Amino acid sequence: MITAIVLIDCATDSIPEVAEALAALPGVSEVYSVAGHVDLIAIVRVREYEQIAEVIAGGISKTPGVVDTDTHIAFRAYSQHDLEEAFAIGLPDAD
């Protein structure tokens, strides 16, 4: 599975509508409304790299209200669960 994180600038008066439209696109697994330098962050998950262009250039960028996008491709995922397993050596917790 290939994951892309897409930072999205929107027309200010249409953020909720844009978020709902983006969430309905095939390949978009999640859309977050965020504070900061961008308005929305979309998580795109596809099986092949060619599909990234279809979802982002062919779908997200063409959605009415989307002004600009900045795409980041994830190489590796880390989570708290992964970190706990990586550092566990099988000893019981010392409480």
pLDDT tens string 2-50: 999 999 999 989 999 999 999 999 999 999 999 999 999 999 999 999 9
How far is residue 85 from each of residues 1, 14, 79, 88, 94, measured CA to CA in Å? Answer: 21, 42, 10, 5, 17
Nearest to 8 by CA among 28, 29, 31: 31
Residues 67-87: tens digit of each pLDDT: 999 999 999 888 766 556 656
End-to-end CA distance of the chain: 39
| 49 and 78 Cβ atoms separated by less than 8 Å | no
- The tokens for 7 are 């930072």
